[in-house]
Structure 1
Amino acid sequence: MTSGRSAGGARREWERVADSLRDRIEAGEIPVDSQLPTQAELVEQFDVARATVQRALKELQDEGYVASIQGKGVFARNWRNPTRAHANGAAVHPVSATVKLADAVAEAFEAEHITIDAYCLTSESLNAALVEPVGRVLRAELRPSSITVRLLLPSSDVLLAFPRNTEDPSDPRPRDRLARLIDLQTQVLRNLLFDLSVRRLVESVVIEIRTVPVTPTTKVYALNRAKGMTGYYKVVDQPVELDDGTRVSIYDVLGVGAKLYAQSAEQFAECQEWFDSLWETIAESA
């Protein structure tokens, strides 16, 4: 059984590591239930960064080839059991329903040309996910040629469903607070990525931010026009302190900790068209 993952182009480093380990497990060179070499040993064997090894092991775990046991290591699994087959006989590996944004962004940064489309309330989660791969570019572990980010955010001049004062929906202060948070987070985003251009580590860095007069109840990310994720904002009633020192109760959302769910190929195609339709019609430059 072969992966075929690298057909049609040069493999990325983590794919090279994953393909090699997968082949060794399938051939019995790494027997079922036996422990794989440590991450440090794999780094030395493949002459790659630790993050590359971690990404490869994550892929193999998602496919059912290995299992990680905390405090003990990574062990080969019976890879034949988790697979199921389509009617045409092609093997399909189960993929975890949830995905971490940091892992997905790290994977996206393995490409030469990186694109990130995001529809969200602020860019806080995206900023956090960018820190590690940006650090790898700064350390010359990754050398992308271009990074393009399109960010869709809620307009600050419309009455949003949240955040809002639970007692007085017309109170503009929660919305003003959100606008300041958005300004802060988008500036962080610009600083993170434009620094790579200033240092001439990436040839082209483009960040476009547009707003739509809609309250986002979900967050959506599309990476390299190939992979999509969706998360759901949960509305909560919580007290906050405003700039004037007043404490009020507002309806707000839990965004940073929201679970993200991987989209199927069909879902992603529809999601990308949806994002593009907003971007090209009602979205306005921030």
Structure 2
Amino acid sequence: MVADALRHHISEGELRVGERIPTQAELSEQYGVPRGAVRRALEILEHEGLIKRAQQGTPATVARTTPVAAPADPAPGSRPSDAQHGPAGSDVPEPRRHPPRPAGVFLGERVAQCFRRRQVTIDAYCLNGETLASALAGPLVTLGTAGVRNPERITVRILLPNADDPLALPQVVGEPANTRPRERLRETTGHIYGSLRHSLRMLKVRGLVPEVSVEARKVSISPTQKVYILNGEEVLAGHYQVQSRRVDLDRDDPIEIYDMLGVEGMLFRHTAVDDDHVTAAYVEQTQQWFDSLWNTIAVPWDS
């Protein structure tokens, strides 16, 4: 149990390379197991190459994020080499696979993990911030409760479409120049962002998090995908589906518009902590792409 838990924390980046593993006494108390069980778990992880100890009796530190040796107790019927290597005869590790999952659930789980760090950074590029606000609701509620370690700093940056400028989406079917869908988007986005900003800033007011920074900027682009970058190490991305639907605008009769729907869409996860250079490069390039928009054509939300 202890080995599995620590292996999970390491693979998910919650314990980073070079970071100290809790002492045997701390692990024994945390998991409610004897010291002998903890010692055996650390020996397993050391055998796998995940942790290292400079000398006997000193705290172990994380050495890498994926095992270099097969786990001591592989699943029945599995072959250690299958889990650790790519094509036959190759020493290249097989990249970890992260299957896509529904956006509303997946982002919430990953943001909750993100909040276990001392420094939390979230960059989001999305239509109105609805999925992000929902994902943040859980972690914000748990901060300050017993047993939860609060972050020391939270930084959130959100790129949103500029509804003051012409946008390809949303638009009235057959009337692309009609501004009412953009007016509705501006109102909805303003409400969501305002509520999110207030909730995050209250963490500092209540003394739960010493430093909180939350800012939104606008770009004159209709996003065709939603992108979330967590702690600069993990990207969750998925496509918006363009659909026609009838909505109420003002007090007029329902009108048909082309709109982007993403809450029920799928998110794909890419993480730089995997031993996969292609995925790590993708995460790095995505961060650079976000920064390039933020620092060039994006304008302050209140402008």
Aligning the two structures, in what range does the TM-score lie when normalised by the shorter sequence?
Answer: 0.7 to 0.9
Q: Percent identity?
A: 35
Deviations 1:72-98 (A, max 9, x none): xxxx94465661415774654633222
Listed one character per residue, the Cα deviations across residues 3-55 of structure 1 (whole Å, up to 9, x for unaligned) are 56543114599xx97xx99x76x96xxxxxxxxxxxxxxxxxxxxxxxxxxxx
**How far apart, in 2, do the equivalents of 1:8 and 1:110 lie?**
17
Aligned to 1:8: 18
- Within the candidate set 277, 283, 286, 2:298 is matched to 283
What are the within-5 Å matches in structure 2 for residues 76-91 of structure 1?
Answer: 77-78=75-76, 80=79, 83-86=83-86, 89=91, 91=93
Matched, 1:146 2:161: no
Is contact 2:247–2:254 with CA below 8 Å preserved after alignment?
A: yes
Change (3 A) 1:246 1:144: same
SS at match of 2:143: helix
* Alpha-carbon separation, structure 2, partners of 1:207 and 1:11: 32
Over 3 Å counting, the alpha-carbon distance change for 1:88 and 1:198 in structure 2 is farther
Aligned residue in 2 for 1:133:
139
Instruction: State the match for 1:226 in structure 2.
Output: 233
Give matches, 1:110-189, under 5 Å.
110-140=116-146, 141-189=148-196
Deviation (angstroms), 1:269:
0.6
Change (3 A) 1:11 1:167: farther
Look up the SS of the partner of 2:117 in the other structure. coil
Q: Does 1:102 align with 2:104?
A: no
Range 189-198 or range 124-133, more displaced: 189-198
The equivalent residue for 1:266 is 281
Question: Following the alignment from structure 1 to structure 2, what is the Cα–Cα distance between the partners of residues 10 and 114?
Answer: 19
Report the Cα distance in structure 2 between the residues aligned to 1:11 and 1:177, rounded to whole angstroms.
Answer: 50
> Is this contact kept in 2: 1:118–1:152, CA < 8 A?
yes
Give the one of 190, 195, 206 matched to 1:199.
Answer: 206
Distance 2:236 2:263 in 1: 14
Is this contact kept in 2: 1:84–1:93, CA < 8 A?
A: no
Larger mean CA deviation between 231-240 and 162-171 belongs to 162-171
- Deviation, 1:262, is 1.1
Give, in whole Å, the separation in 1 of the partners of 2:280 and 2:247: 40
TM-score of the pair, normalised by structure 2? 0.70
- The structure with the larger Rg is 2
1:245 deviation in Å?
3.5
How many residues align? The count is 238
C-alpha displacement of 1:246: 2.7
The answer to whether 1:210 aligns with 2:198 is: no
Alpha-carbon distance in 2 for matches of 1:92, 1:139: 40
Per-residue CA distance 1:250-276 (angstroms, 9 max, x = gap): 000111112110122111111000000
1:241 and 2:257 matched: no
The change in CA–CA distance for 1:195 and 1:212 in structure 2 (over 3 A counts) is same
Unaligned runs of 5+ in 1: 28-64, 66-75
Match of 1:34 in 2: none
8 Å CA contact retained: 1:229, 1:261: yes
CA distance in 1, matches of 2:124, 2:216: 10
- Quote how far apart the aligned CAs of 1:167 are: 2.4
TM-score by structure 1 length? Answer: 0.74
Match of 1:36? none
Distance 1:9 1:123, change over 3 A: same
Report 1:45-60 matches (<5 A). none
RMSD: 3.3
| Residue type at the aligned position of 2:186 | A
The residue matched to 2:137 in structure 1 has which SS? helix
